[in-house]
């Protein structure tokens, strides 16, 4: 997988979206870990992800409570592919080959959190207000992003230049107080899962 996005959930609740860019990613509860999972049952350096030209691999770092990959206890380096699921403590990490796949994965997660209904209504209103503050052109770009499209793909679908999409994206990021498309999608996904509970 040249492009790798990790959908992280905790106890079946969406936690965040992480894009793998570095050759090595440490997973654990230590503050220095790129993917930090704050759980006392998780080791400070629990597992290591290695991305190379041969693919994406994971290795347990000798953790006390071990790492499970697709239901199998991990004993050595093992290759991960699109759809691979890694269980570490109370967390589950799902590896997706594209942003669109990550969006679909996030959409399949049912939020079982205990956040109050009033908080969820507030989150829903806040998201609606932010979207309504966008211009029509920015709104079209925003909806392209939440469908998992890249700036280039949004430009092609709307018949505008990538430069124009990039300009719109900067305004969108400012409106949502984020600094990247990944952060925007993570924000959207978290709010979406909270709205799901409020509608039940």
pLDDT digits (tens, 9 = 90+) for 112-123: 443 433 344 444
b vs e for 107-143, b when ≥16 Cβ sit within 10 Å of the residue's Cβ? eebebeeeeeeeebeebbeebeebbeebeeebebbbe
What pLDDT was estimated at residue 191?
A: 67
Tens-place pLDDT, residues 15-64:
888 889 899 999 999 999 999 999 999 999 999 999 998 999 999 999 98
3-class DSSP state for residue 68? Answer: strand
Mean pLDDT of 97-105: 84
Question: Using 50, 70 and 90 to split pLDDT, how confident is the model at 195?
Answer: low
What pLDDT was estimated at residue 198?
A: 53
What pLDDT was estimated at residue 11?
A: 86
Instruction: Give the rounded distance of the alpha carbon of 142 from its chain centre.
Output: 17
Cα 96 from Cα 107, distance rounded (Å): 13
**Highest mean pLDDT pick, 5-14, 95-104, 140-149, 163-172:** 163-172
What pLDDT was estimated at residue 107?
A: 76
Cα 161 from Cα 193, distance rounded (Å): 32
Q: Is residue 148 predicted with pLDDT exceeding 70?
A: yes
Predicted structure pTM score: 0.64
What pLDDT was estimated at residue 37?
A: 95
């Amino acid at each position: 997988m040249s492009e790798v996005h990790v959908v992280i959930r905790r106890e079946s609740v969406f936690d965040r979206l992480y894009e793998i860019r570095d050759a090595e990613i440490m997973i654990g509860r230590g503050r220095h870990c790129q993917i930090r999972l704050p759980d006392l049952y998780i080791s400070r350096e629990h597992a290591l992800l290695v991305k190379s030209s041969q693919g994406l691999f994971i290795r347990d770092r000798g953790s006390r409570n071990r790492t499970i990959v697709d239901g199998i206890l991990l004993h050595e380096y093992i290759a991960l592919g699109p759809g691979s699921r890694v269980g570490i403590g109370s967390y589950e990490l799902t590896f997706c080959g594209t942003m669109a796949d990550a969006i679909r994965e996030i959409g399949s997660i049912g939020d079982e959190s205990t956040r109050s209904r009033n908080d969820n209504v507030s989150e829903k209103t806040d998201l609606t207000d932010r979207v309504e503050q966008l211009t029509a052109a920015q709104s079209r770009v925003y909806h392209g992003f939440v469908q998992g499209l890249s700036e280039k793909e949004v430009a092609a679908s709307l018949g505008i230049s990538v430069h124009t999409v990039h300009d719109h994206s900067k305004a969108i990021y400012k409106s949502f107080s984020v600094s990247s498309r990944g952060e925007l999608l993570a924000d959207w996904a978290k709010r979406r899962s909270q709205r799901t509970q409020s509608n039940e």
